[in-house]
């Protein structure tokens, strides 16, 4: 039985109810576990949240009923044995006739099953961008938590920089990073750690390998952790021994693009304009080697709204937390990426990651 809660104390749920009104739907089915955690407090790995104009119901299977009751105290909890049957039952009890759902997080199989079950009883309406921006502006507590995550990750990178030597493998560096971060309070990694040296650094999402780090290498370390559910994201590129003039000039170009992009960030600026500035700074000489967007939002997910990339329609707003991460990738040779995470403010931004991005040379 779904228990109706007419006056939920959660302002985030009220925001969803405003979305209901604007889109003239009776309720929304949430499947994205990050959105479910954000709206209910439930941190399990599976479940469904249904929000209507006068109720909020968290559907979980038997593994999570005790956890859900403890974490989502202002939400009605309903246990299911079959997820789709649970959604059908809850929608019927709540009297929902026009129901939104997160299109990007519902499989074709579940969607087809819901359509068959609802038949003429209810209409499904897909939601995309409006729900994708739900978590874009962070509250003070979220920002404080993200700063803690960033501090843990940056400290782990700083520790490795003091210890790493030629002859270490990329996998050894990745392992030592994770150990250091977990000892300092990290819950888990925010994403699979990237440690890429030499020619591997030319791959933006390279996986740590058995390659030994050698003199003359760039080493790209892209590392982030989760703390109380929130992510950090930072990339540093280090020199191992003496670099060539070409490598040094390329690093200076990336650092200049990084610095000027960050200097441009403030509330009201179009995210696409930040990306365009980054590309203008890199210019014709380097621009063709910059093969991804300038940045992305960070929060409960390491990639979330807004997008700082060509074609983005997002406008930066105070409270958003975004990355700035220009990079250059020369196939078969080497690569560079410099990334900080920043908090957007009214007239500027605050860098919340901690490593200095001036080139560090490790002998």
Which among 234, 240, 243, 244 has a CA at the least distance from the CA of 168? 240
Distance between terminal CA atoms of the chain?
A: 66
Per-residue pLDDT tens digits for 288-342: 999 999 999 999 999 999 999 999 999 999 999 999 999 999 999 999 999 999 9
Q: How confident is the model at residue 129 (pLDDT cuts 50, 70, 90)?
A: confident
Q: What per-residue confidence (pLDDT) applies to 130?
A: 81
Q: How confident is the model at residue 9 (pLDDT cuts 50, 70, 90)?
A: very low
Cβ-proximal residues to 226 (8 Å cutoff; 6+ apart), any chain:
149, 186, 187, 188, 189, 190, 232
- Is a pLDDT exceeding 80 seen at residue 3? no
Residue 242 is given by DSSP the state P
Cβ–Cβ under 8 Å, residues 224 and 235? no
Residue 119 has pLDDT above 90, yes or no: no
3 state SS of 197: strand
pTM of this prediction?
0.94
At 251-289, the pLDDT tens digits run 999 999 999 999 999 999 999 999 999 999 999 999 999
């Amino acid at each position: 039985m779904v228990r109706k809660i007419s006056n939920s104390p959660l302002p985030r749920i009220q925001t969803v109810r405003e979305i209901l009104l604007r889109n003239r739907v009776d309720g929304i089915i949430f499947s994205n576990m990050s959105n479910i955690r954000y709206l209910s407090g439930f941190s399990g790995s599976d479940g469904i949240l249904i929000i209507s104009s006068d109720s909020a119901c968290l559907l979980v299977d038997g593994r999570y009923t005790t956890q859900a009751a403890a974490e989502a105290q202002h939400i009605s909890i309903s246990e299911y044995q079959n997820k789709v049957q649970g959604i059908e039952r809850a929608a019927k009890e709540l009297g929902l006739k026009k129901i939104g759902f997160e299109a990007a997080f519902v499989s074709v199989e579940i969607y087809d099953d819901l359509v068959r079950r609802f038949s003429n009883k209810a209409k499904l309406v897909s939601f995309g961008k409006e729900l994708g921006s739900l978590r874009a502006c962070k509250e003070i507590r979220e920002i404080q938590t993200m700063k803690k995550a960033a501090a843990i990750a940056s400290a782990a990178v700083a520790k490795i920089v003091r210890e790493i030597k030629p002859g270490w493998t990329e996998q050894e560096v990745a392992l030592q990073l994770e150990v250091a971060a977990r000892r300092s309070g990290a819950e888990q990694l925010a994403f699979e750690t990237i440690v890429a040296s030499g020619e591997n650094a030319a791959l933006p999402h390279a996986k740590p390998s058995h390659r030994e780090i050698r003199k003359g290498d760039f080493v790209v370390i892209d590392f982030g952790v989760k703390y109380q559910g929130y992510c950090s994201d930072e990339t540093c590129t280090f020199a191992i021994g003496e670099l060539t003039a070409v490598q040094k000039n390329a690093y200076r170009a990336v650092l200049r693009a990084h610095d000027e992009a960050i200097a441009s960030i403030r509330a009201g600026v179009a995210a696409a304009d930040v990306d365009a500035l980054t590309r203008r700074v890199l210019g014709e000489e380097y621009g063709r080697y910059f093969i991804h967007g300038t940045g992305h939002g960070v929060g409960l997910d390491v990639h979330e709204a807004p997008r700082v990339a060509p074609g983005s329609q997002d406008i930066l707003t105070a409270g958003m937390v975004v990355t700035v991460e220009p990079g250059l990738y020369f196939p078969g040779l080497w690569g560079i990426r410099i990334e900080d995470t920043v908090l957007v403010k009214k007239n500027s931004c605050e860098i919340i990651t901690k490593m200095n991005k001036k080139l560090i040379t490790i002998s």
